[in-house]
Amino acid sequence: MARAARQWWWAALAATIAAPAAAHKRSDAQAMTAAVRAGVHRAAADADNAELARVLVAMAAVPRDAFVPPALRKQAFADRSLEIGDGQTISAPSVVAVMTAAAQLPPHANVLDVGTGSGYQAAVLARLADRVASVEIVPDLAAAARERLARLGYANVEVRAGDGYAGWPEHAPFDAIIVAAGSDKVPAPLLDQLKVGGRLVMPVGATWASEQLLVVTKTAPGKTMRCSLGWTMFVPLTGAGARDERVRGGVFDTSIPNCFSAPVIAPMFVSAKDEPSEE
């Protein structure tokens, strides 16, 4: 009995010590999502909608500090991208929120996440979708993300090392695809693996400097409709989807309309446009 009592006492003490830290972390996450929502509302009030609110609830429940290097954990809840090693970054919370909300995940969604990185985007998606297939081209990052997601209990996420340009045909078709790396075009294999009515969200531009975050809706086989969330800069897609590094400069494509009344990402770089364009 004495041993059992001691074990109970130590468990109670550990819980007492951990409780303030957990509460502080929840407070940080809630402050982060509140700041993201305020920023989106300032940029385009119509983007501050029910879908964004749903995504922010999911994000508040994901411990972002578990997805960044230990040295950067004090910055984990700031609205900024952070380096995670191997030349890769974890996207800023506002970018994750805007991309995820733009995907408009239906109930019981099957989602492809291209560019796993540390696994944060996959973790957010896992709280909103039934199944998340995540592809990372850097094997060490893929292995670390797989272990991290499993340890944190995200059982509905599967991670593999591979070239995201090719998607994951065995798990297709997908209700939504989120690509966290920029290219000069949307990879054809990804569009092939997207369901009709599904949305692909990805940064696209001839060069890094001319990138904008696009929402590509598949309206029929071989047909898409595009709109822009605004100007952005992502790490480049590597592998088969890599840009031609000899191309410099690049012209920002102003023919693509805004998804909302104004750009949600870096609005000063994009002119106002109204209706989605069809291809």
DSSP character string of 180-210: -SBBSS--HHHHHTEEEEEEEEEEE-SSGGG
Please determine, for residue 123, whether its predicted confidence score (pLDDT) is greater than 90.
Answer: yes
* pLDDT classification of 93: cutoffs 50, 70, 90: very high
**Domain membership flag for residue 206:** yes
**Residue of 249 and 141 predicted with greater confidence:** 141
Q: How far apart are CA 178 and CA 190, in angstroms?
A: 10
Instruction: Of 67-81, 88-102, 202-216, 256-270, give the lowest mean pLDDT range.
Output: 256-270
pLDDT recorded at residue 182? 94
pTM across the whole model = 0.87
Residue 91 annotated in active site = yes
Please determine, for residue 203, whether its predicted confidence score (pLDDT) is greater than 80.
Answer: yes
pLDDT recorded at residue 45? 97
Mean pLDDT of 141-160: 98
For residue 182, give the amino acid letter.
G
CA angle in degrees (0–180, nearest 5) for 82-84-89: 55
Domain of 233, in residue numbers: 23-278
Average pLDDT over the chain reads: 89
Q: How many domains does the chain have?
A: 1
Phi and psi dihedrals of 97, rounded to 5?
Answer: -65, -45
pLDDT recorded at residue 251? 74
**Domain membership flag for residue 1:** no
Return the closest-CA partner of residue 34 out of 88, 69, 4, 79.
Answer: 79
CA angle in degrees (0–180, nearest 5) for 121-78-232: 60
DSSP string, 37-48: HHHHHHH-GGGS
Mean pLDDT of 51-73: 97
Instruction: Of 23-37, 194-208, 264-278, give the lowest mean pLDDT range.
Output: 264-278
Placement of tokens 């000899």 in the chain:
246
What CATH number does residue 52 fall under? 3.40.50.150
Name the active-site residue from 91, 134, 183, 210: 91
Return the closest-CA partner of residue 213 out of 33, 44, 31.
Answer: 44
* pLDDT classification of 269: cutoffs 50, 70, 90: very low
**Domain membership flag for residue 106:** yes
* pLDDT classification of 61: cutoffs 50, 70, 90: very high
Phi and psi dihedrals of 128, rounded to 5?
Answer: -120, -15
**Domain membership flag for residue 128:** yes
Half-sphere exposure of 83 toward its Cβ, with a 13 Å CA cutoff?
A: 4
Q: How far apart are CA 238 and CA 236, in angstroms?
A: 6
* pLDDT classification of 4: cutoffs 50, 70, 90: low
pLDDT recorded at residue 21? 47
**Domain membership flag for residue 34:** yes
**Residue of 97 and 278 predicted with greater confidence:** 97
**Domain membership flag for residue 40:** yes
Instruction: Of 7-11, 70-74, 146-150, 198-202, give the lowest mean pLDDT range.
Output: 7-11
Q: Is 245 exposed, middle or buried (0-12, 13-18, 19+ CB in 10 A)?
A: exposed
Q: What percent of the chain has pLDDT over 90?
A: 76
**Domain membership flag for residue 251:** yes
Please determine, for residue 274, whether its predicted confidence score (pLDDT) is greater than 50.
Answer: no
Please determine, for residue 260, whether its predicted confidence score (pLDDT) is greater than 50.
Answer: yes
